Amino acid sequence: MLILAAIIAIFIYGMIAAMLGTILPELSDRFHLSPSQNGTIAFAQALGLILASLAAGPLLDNEGKKLGIVLGLGLISIALFALPRSPGFRSIVLLLFLLGVGGGIMVTGANALASDVGEAHRATALNLANLFFGLGALATPFIAANLLGRNWVRLCYSIASLTVVTLVIEAVTRMPGPTGAGRFVLKEAAPVLGRPLLLLIGLFVFLYITCEVGMWNWLPRHLIAQGIPESRALNILSLGFALGMLIGRGAILPILIRVPAITVTLVGSVAMAVTTFLMLRIKNPAAAWVLVFLAGISMAPVFPTTLAIVGDAFPRMTGTAIGFVITCGWTGLAVSSRIIGVIAGGDPRRLKKALLVIPASAVLMVGLDLAIQIALR
């Protein structure tokens, strides 16, 4: 039941993760937003994720995962029900910040809950739970493009309603409370958060989230700028990138039984660098789909497998350690969103150049992965 509760929550977060990239073209047209303003919106969501996941770790360790998951779902529901009534750019920024706060609390709680299954099955459980992240992320752009006629208002209301249903399910599910061994103790936080291994992993996830969420938020706009119709661009995001992540997380489950987690993250980082660089050089929709799909497979196991490494290395105050690492990831989203928006400026055609941030980050991940391997010995 705990794995099921984590799966449902992560499925909802998958839908939320793909939300901004799915609705951004319509929002930009309706409110005449520039790429720079798009970057500000993405930054606001990332800032909410950063603050929430940083605070969520101690909250989870002291009060239990259930409170964090339910609170996060409640904030997500409020933001999505209010977003279609936004009068303009400033209110969109505020509501995306609130959406980020809710998402940050919930995804930290759900991953910490999945991590509680134990050391022997931690990497498998986290990849299984996050497989449903890929399913949720596939669902949002697919539903928008094929079922709702790219109507972003109906999409917001639909996902908000599903979030409320999930909130009720999580509220009635029995979850273990905090344990004395796992509680957050302020005087012990510095030795945990100051360990070089955790800092290396945090920087690794910083770069990884730059890549993954950069794809969710910017890929449709980039494809549209290359002359690909909006519906097809959204389908490339859903049936290409999201489907690749879904299949990749399913395929990695038996591999993790035999292959060390750190090796999986290294191979994934190398593949990410190659596929995302080639993706930005392609204009043909079919070829773009293939490379986007391969990029999704490459990224699929990296995040949950990295969280498993954290869970194994930090058995005490695990929620705090996971929260710190996820916070580093959202910081990568915030920084990269601003950089991409500034480089692109007011011209969508410059997105191709700006999105080189993604393969460059993947190259740096390779070096960090090797450093983490040394620190784990």
At 117 the pLDDT is 63
pLDDT of residue 180: 46
Residue 180 covered by a domain? no
Averaged pLDDT, 291-317: 88
Calpha distance 121→257 (Å, rounded): 9
What is the predicted pLDDT for the residue at 296? Answer: 94
Q: Which of 66, 69, 64, 36 is nearest to 52 (CA)?
A: 69
Which residue stretches of 226-301 are H helix? 230-236, 243-258, 261-279, 285-299
Specify whether the CB–CB gap between 281 and 333 falls below 8 A: no
Residue 183 lies in a domain: no
Identity of the highest mean pLDDT range in 106-110, 156-160, 352-356: 156-160
The pLDDT value recorded for residue 33 is: 84
pLDDT for the residue numbered 182: 47
210 domain-assigned: yes
pLDDT at 93 over 90: yes
278 close to 291: Cβ distance less than 8 angstroms: yes
Lowest mean pLDDT among 20-34, 182-196, 224-238: 182-196
Q: Three-state SS for 228? A: coil
CB 22 within 8 A of CB 241: no
Residue 321 lies in a domain: yes
Q: Give the chain's mean pLDDT.
A: 84
Q: Give the N- to C-terminal CA distance of the chain in Å, as an integer.
A: 35
User: Are the C-beta atoms of 7 and 126 separated by less than 8 Å?
Assistant: no
Query: Could you give the percent of the chain with pLDDT greater than 90?
Result: 29
**What average pLDDT does the segment 283-288 reach?**
88
Q: Is there a domain that residue 184 lies in? A: no
- Per-residue pLDDT band at 351 (split at 50, 70, 90): confident
254: alpha, beta or left, given left = phi > 0 and alpha = psi -120 to 50? alpha
Please report which confidence band the pLDDT of residue 147 belongs to, taking 50, 70 and 90 as the band edges.
Answer: confident
pLDDT of residue 313: 81
Domain of 312, CATH number, reads 1.20.1250.20
Model pLDDT, residue 361: 95
What distance in Å separates the CA atoms of residue 165 and residue 365, rounded to the nearest whole number?
Answer: 38
pLDDT value at 190 more than 80: no
Q: Is residue 263 part of a domain?
A: yes
Q: Give strand ranges (E) for 291-331.
A: none
- Determine, yes or no, domain membership for 323: yes
Q: Which residue has the higher pLDDT, 86 or 314?
A: 86
Q: How many domains does the chain have?
A: 1
pLDDT value for 350: 78
pLDDT band at 76 (very low <50, low <70, confident <90, very high): very high
Q: Note the pLDDT of residue 178.
A: 62
Structure tokens at 8: 């449902």
Nearest to 83 by CA among 54, 45, 139: 45
pLDDT at 175 over 70: yes
In a domain, 149, yes or no: yes
> What residues make up the domain containing 27?
2-173+189-376
Residue-level pLDDT at 258: 87
Residue 52: pLDDT over 70: yes
* pLDDT greater at residue 61 or residue 109: 109
